[in-house]
Structure 1
Amino acid sequence: MSKAPAIIPAAVKQTASLIFLHGLGDVGTSWLEAFNMYRIPKAAPHVKFIFPHAPIQRVTLNMGMPMPSWFDITGLDQNAKEDQEGIEKSSKLLKDLIEEEIKNGIPPERVIVGGFSMGGAVALHAALTSPHTLGGVLALSTWLPLSTTFPQALISGDKKVNLPILQCHGDSDPMVQLRWARMTADGVKAMGFKQYSFQEYKNMGHSSCDQEMTDVTSFITKYLPKTD
């Protein structure tokens, strides 16, 4: 990872962590600002919020221009070749950040991972292939990458079915089409996840909206409740 993640420290004793990955061409700081704007840290003062920055690399889709990216994207259609090596590398980066939180005394079930677009794809992959059952996954405007490797790639599969997952998508997303999101939804449901929720937002493009951020806040406070 290029530089240290942007962080909102817990305002009281930290008993939980949330690691959130930005989308293509973005930086962690913009999601830190969004979380602050929606007062999410105020709703969960015991949570440390971590927003990593993707390394700068060439992206085939954008004519090979270097930009912050978790992996390479060759195209936006279903049959575009996936950058398996890049996805797995970023997934491992995220799993290393999870291990750091665990080492600092936060149990895995008190760690939520999430992300927007390609960041969400990495978060889903990392959560499903982690040796731990985490506190939850926030998958915003995203898809499950390397979907043909599942369910075989699921680790500790029997316990994983209790992993809470919130998938959110705009019905007017021109980048990650709604039908892809629905295919991911079908795939995740078929793997037997019991606490899986799929929310669609009217007229929302490849972005976020107030209702979505309200749902995100509710998910965080539900699955990372304050403990004594």
Structure 2
Amino acid sequence: MTTAKKVLIIGGHGKVARLLTPLLIDAGHNVTSVIRQEDQVDHIQELGAQPLVQDITALNAVKWNALLAAYDVIVWSAGAGGRGDATTTRAVDRDAAWSMIDSLNRLDDRPEKAPTLLLVSFTGSLNNPWDKNDPMYAYGLAKQEVDRRLNAGVKFPFVVVAPGELTDEDNSGIKRVDDIASAAEPTPRQAVAAVLAELVGRADIPEHGARVAIAGGDAPASEISF
């Protein structure tokens, strides 16, 4: 039986997060979703989560600690995904994520330790696959810096979920792929949500972290391993 957990989704109105939320609610978890705009509140409530309107780019260290401290699991599903300008992309995908990691490291010094982090990235993110003239370069660089920091070692348990190009295909099945850009394959958002929901319920998240590169496939998310 899955133990109910308190889950904070950062980027709660994104497509993956909106698929994830009802999966978590159905599994008995308590979900709070950080969103950017007041007009997103009703939709989040309809999904069963508690909305929290917050600009994550404006939080200082004290506010990050206050935001994260009460939860068992943090799901990072925020980001411009390369759609914004370089400044906005860096503010969210690099700087805000970096500040979150700083906070989780601080929180791990408590007797109750830090929450577990589940961070959505992309296959091959440890080496930015885009050149400087590509509109996606700033996004790739931001994700590379954050993911390399996690890989270098942090105090808290984490899993980076690294899908290929996201699609709206109706398929929650997965397969594992090599974690290099050339191996990336289309990945349904539904599959990413299924993996995240599975990991929220797990008790075996590696203390020193893990990466799971996935694509759409036939295996259920329950078969994910580290």
TM-score bracket relative to the smaller structure: 0.3 to 0.5
TM-score by length of 2: 0.45
